[in-house]
Amino acid sequence: GAVVSQHPSWVICKSGTSVKIECRSLDFQATTMFWYRQFPKQSLMLMATSNEGSKATYEQGVEKDKFLINHASLTLSTLTVTSAHPEDSSFYICSARGDTNEKLFFGSGTQLSVL
Amino acid sequence: GENVEQHPSTLSVQEGDSAVIKCTYSDSASNYFPWYKQELGKRPQLIIDIRSNVGEKKDQRIAVTLNKTAKHFSLHITETQPEDSAVYFCAASTGDSNYQLIWGAGTKLIIKP
């Protein structure tokens, strides 16, 4: 099956620093990648949608200058949380879809804790 | 836009019994309905999906039914086992917007030994 790799699994950082999260599709070309945020015991909240080679589309209320998304190749997308603050602490998870069907496959998630 | 409602939020069943989780959607143009299972701290995993041209799909102990007229679809798990304990999410997609999925709120399934 399709494999999506996400790194790091968890990260602890100081307030004001930036954190980069990588999402890679290992055995297929990801036409579209989605970035989600998930709070404990809640559903997945879509942050943005990215297509390879174009600018990401952000959901309402998500600051594009704070959550920088780059989808430079068909196998890699990155999310950078800039100037992180404690309220940015959350579980971030990426997902990817190839161009052959609508099935969505998820990365393992990144638990971000900002001190 | 599309809205997906999922019930119940928590479901507790005796091991060996069946579990049913229901979702309703609002956009009649939705044509793809996946179900994901998420264990604590782990990634959601696709367990079964159905397209709008099919009314029912089964995979061993798991089945999904779709009623397009009523705009609802259900996940059925038979002969439940302890490893079925997890949070289950339904979703719907119209195929537009890069096949963006609209998610239900999730159901925490607890299998009692």
Per-residue pLDDT for B24 more than 90? yes
Measure the CA dihedral A10/A34/B68/B107, to 10°.
10
pLDDT of A101 strictly over 80: no
Give the model's pLDDT for residue B97: 67
Chain B window 46-105: which residues touch A at a Cβ cutoff of 8 Å? Answer: 46, 49, 89, 93, 95, 97-101, 103-105
Q: Which residue has the higher pLDDT, A59 or B2?
A: A59
Q: Average pLDDT in the B91-102 region?
A: 84
The secondary structure element, H or E, covering residue A105 is: strand A105-106
* Of B44, B45, B98, Cβ closest to residue A49: B98
**Most confident of the following: A40-44, A71-75, B103-107:** B103-107
pLDDT in tens, B56-91: 999 999 999 999 999 999 999 999 999 999 999 999
* Cα A12 from Cα A38, distance rounded (Å): 17
Residue A82: predicted pLDDT: 96
Rg of chain B over all Cα atoms, to the nearest angstrom: 13
Judge whether residue A39 has pLDDT over 70: yes
Residues of A whose CB is below 8 A from B101: 104
- Running DSSP on this structure, what letter comes out for residue B98? G
Question: Which chain A residue has its CA at the smallest distance from B102's CA?
Answer: A46
β-strand partners of B85? none
pLDDT confidence bin for A2, thresholds 50/70/90 = confident
State the average pLDDT over residues B2-17.
96
- The residue type of A44 is L
As a whole number, mean pLDDT of residues B11-17 equals 98
User: Per-residue pLDDT for A1 more than 70?
Assistant: no
How many other CB atoms sit within 10 Å of the CB of residue B62? 16
